[in-house]
Amino acid sequence: MFNLIRRDVILQKRQLLFFIPFILFFIFMNSHPIMTFLVASIFIPFNAYAYDEKAETNVLLNSLPYTRKEIIASRYLGAVLYMILAISLSSLALFLLDKPFTMRDMAIGSGLFLTFSAFTFPLFYIFKQGYIFTIVLISFLVLAGIGPSILNYVGKYLTPLSQFLANLSGETLYIGALLSALIVYCLSWGFSQKIYQRKAF
Amino acid sequence: MENVIELRNATKKFKGFSVENIDLQVKQGLITGFIGENGAGKSTTIKMMMNLLKPDAGEVKVFGLDFRTHEKEIKERIGFVYDGNVYFEGLNLKDIRRIVGPAYSQWDDDLFYKYVNQFDLPLNKAIKTFSKGMQMKGSLAIALSHHAELIIMDEPTAGLDPNFRRELLELLQEIMVDGKRTIFLSTHMTTDLDRIADYIAFIQRGKLVFNQSIQDISDQYALVKGPLDLLDRDTEKDFVHVHRFKTGFQALTDRVKAVEDTFGNSVVIERASLEEIMYFMKGERQHV
């Protein structure tokens, strides 16, 4: 199973050369640290899906001594592992470049990544192969573009909700958000596994 | 003799196509050729054997084990070669070995490099630069490097030039020498099998027509040629299908003895090749 996760690094060794410059680009563009953490986390797992979208990859993986459960688990666990790696690397880069960031940024960045993954990963198993990667990429850019203004709007007009959130202490809020993201992520895992079990290759 | 693969009443339905009630036993230590036209259901059947497809009904057992409970144990012992390349085409063989090797507990690096040498394969070139033949050899090298007891091949000779095909078939005979190994290979080129197969399973329009030893097939089936005036409703009963020409008829029989008794010396009885059997069988079904 660890071997399945390691596979992504072997497959993407060329793309990984761009990983550090990619992170640095966002830092130099003065993106918010949350944004940097988020895009850095997305890099490896979503690249991996771009590879796995090919039908032959599924034929290969399912012909090797792996169960379908393991194949899905490697995706979900791998994403978390690569996220931790990406956030550590980005933090190091931010630290070395003397850019300020907080634990809170890391928590929100990973929470957003988990939520985004939770909603997009199953798409790769539901829909026909070939288009999903593009759809996910576009939806990400759109969300990143209009997401903040939606949040502002919600904050303005849904006062009870924002008041409730404002009353929570910072710690509780971010830990709560991260935990909810994790729960959604696990639900998504179970869902993907269910779909994948029934697939024919 | 032990059965390595057992399909019992395996059925899989798709829109407009299905394989139905396949009862197929593949014997240990032999080469079984799986023949049928394109679209007859060969790949679907093979996919059920690899658990890439789950049958809607019936059961599939490999090494006497069920995929539901022993998926990994079964696949550890199978080597597979498919029609197209399933390996990441941007990678070279070295990297593919790093991905595929650790998946098998019995993976043998020495053996892998031995085959890579024997097949003259480049280790550092991306798979996508390989010719069709090289890709097949690469897949075969991988399939043979973890001491698999069962090699399943889906159309391994498709798209290969004749020399290469011959080379592959010789190689398959070579790897059979220890007697424990079983090979199951599908092809629509029956001439490949006349030379190497011990058993032939024949599938037609999603139904298994027969699964017999080459010897039994040549005992049971024959090509009969004779003048048209010998044919009538009674005599035709002994034929699977008859082709009529101005000069006479050609027919396939699966009852050689009966034909000999009925016609005696007035007809010519010849050995039927697999290709001829397939050809006449196709006619038979269409006329029903």
β-pairing verdict for B31-35 and B199-204: parallel
Nearest CA in chain B to A62: B52
Q: What is the mean pLDDT of residues B90-110?
A: 93
Residue B203 in this model has a pLDDT that exceeds 90: yes
Residue A174 in this model has a pLDDT that exceeds 60: yes
Tell me how close the Cα of B88 comes to any Cα of chain A, in angstroms: 7
Tell me how close the Cα of A92 comes to any Cα of chain B, in angstroms: 30
Tell me which residue in A51, A64, A198 faces B100 most closely, judged by beta carbons.
A64
| Token digits of residue B236 | 């035709």
Mean pLDDT score of chain A: 84
Amino acid making up residue B113: Y
pLDDT (0 to 100) of residue B264: 86
Residue A166 in this model has a pLDDT that exceeds 80: no
Tell me which residue in B52, B71, B78 faces A200 most closely, judged by beta carbons.
B52
Please say whether the beta carbons of B53 and B44 come within 8 A: yes
Residue B21 in this model has a pLDDT that exceeds 80: yes
pLDDT (0 to 100) of residue A11: 86
Q: Evaluate whether the domain defined by B3-217 bears CATH number 3.40.50.300.
A: yes
Nearest CA in chain B to A197: B54
Share of chain B above pLDDT 90, in %: 58
Is B91–A57 a contact, with Cβ atoms under 8 angstroms apart?
A: no
Residue B37 in this model has a pLDDT that exceeds 60: yes
Least confidently predicted of B90-94, B118-122, B175-179, B199-203: B175-179
| Cα(B131)–Cα(B136) distance, integer angstroms | 9
pLDDT (0 to 100) of residue A154: 66
Residue B56 in this model has a pLDDT that exceeds 90: yes
Least confidently predicted of A46-50, A148-152, B92-96: A148-152
Is A62–B51 a contact, with Cβ atoms under 8 angstroms apart?
A: yes
pLDDT (0 to 100) of residue B1: 61
Q: What is the mean pLDDT of residues A60-85?
A: 94
pLDDT (0 to 100) of residue A158: 66
Nearest CA in chain A to B73: A65
Tell me how close the Cα of A42 comes to any Cα of chain B, in angstroms: 22
Q: What is the mean pLDDT of residues B47-52?
A: 94
pLDDT (0 to 100) of residue A46: 84
Q: Which residue has the higher pLDDT, A143 or A184?
A: A184
pLDDT (0 to 100) of residue A165: 65
Return phi, psi of residue B272, to 5°. -95, 130
pLDDT (0 to 100) of residue B229: 87
Amino acid making up residue B165: R
How many residues are listed for chain A in this entry?
201
Q: What is the mean pLDDT of residues A125-138?
A: 72
Residue B285 in this model has a pLDDT that exceeds 60: no
Is A10–B98 a contact, with Cβ atoms under 8 angstroms apart?
A: yes
Tell me how close the Cα of A163 comes to any Cα of chain B, in angstroms: 52
Residue B109 in this model has a pLDDT that exceeds 50: yes
Tell me which residue in A57, A64, A200 faces B75 most closely, judged by beta carbons.
A64
Complex ipTM: 0.87
Mean pLDDT score of chain B: 90
Nearest CA-CA partner of A37 in A149, A112, A142, A135:
A112
Is A65–B98 a contact, with Cβ atoms under 8 angstroms apart?
A: no
Nearest CA in chain A to B99: A7
| Domain coordinates in residue numbering, chain B | 3-217, 221-287
Give per-residue pLDDT as tens, A1-44.
788 998 888 888 888 888 888 888 888 888 888 888 988 998 88
Tell me how close the Cα of A47 comes to any Cα of chain B, in angstroms: 14
Please say whether the beta carbons of B123 and B109 come within 8 A: no
pLDDT (0 to 100) of residue B288: 41
Give per-residue pLDDT as tens, B57-69.
999 999 999 999 9
Please say whether the beta carbons of B48 and B10 come within 8 A: yes
Ordered alpha helix ranges (H), B92-230 = 93-100, 109-118, 132-144, 162-174, 191-196, 214-220
The model's confidence at residue A132, banded by pLDDT at 50, 70 and 90, is low
Tell me which residue in A51, A198, A201 faces B52 most closely, judged by beta carbons.
A201
| Cα(B138)–Cα(B146) distance, integer angstroms | 14
Is A200–B75 a contact, with Cβ atoms under 8 angstroms apart?
A: no
Tell me which residue in A3, A200, A201 faces B103 most closely, judged by beta carbons.
A3
Q: What is the mean pLDDT of residues B157-164?
A: 83
How many CB contacts within 8 angstroms connect chain A with chain B? Answer: 60
**B53 touching A (Cβ < 8 Å):** yes
CA distances (Å), B94 to each of A148, A173, B79, B91, in order? 46, 48, 18, 8
The model's confidence at residue B150, banded by pLDDT at 50, 70 and 90, is very high
Token look-up 């029609």 returns B83
Is A200–B80 a contact, with Cβ atoms under 8 angstroms apart?
A: no
The model's confidence at residue B107, banded by pLDDT at 50, 70 and 90, is very high
CATH topology of domain B221-287: Alpha-Beta Plaits (3.30.70)
Share of chain B above pLDDT 70, in %: 98
Nearest CA-CA partner of B195 in B224, B171, B177, B178:
B171
Tell me which residue in B80, B95, B99 faces A63 most closely, judged by beta carbons.
B80
CA distances (Å), A56 to each of A52, B89, B125, in order? 8, 10, 20
What SS3 class is residue B228?
Answer: helix
The model's confidence at residue B286, banded by pLDDT at 50, 70 and 90, is very low
Q: Which residues of B touch A57 (CB under 8 A)?
A: 86, 88
Q: Which residues of A touch B76 (CB under 8 A)?
A: 65
By the 10 Å C-beta count (0-12 exposed, 13-18 middle, 19+ buried), A2 is classed as exposed
Give per-residue pLDDT as tens, B220-264.
999 999 998 888 888 888 898 999 888 999 999 998 888 888 888
The model's confidence at residue B211, banded by pLDDT at 50, 70 and 90, is very high
pLDDT (0 to 100) of residue B287: 46
Amino acid making up residue A81: L
**B50 touching A (Cβ < 8 Å):** yes
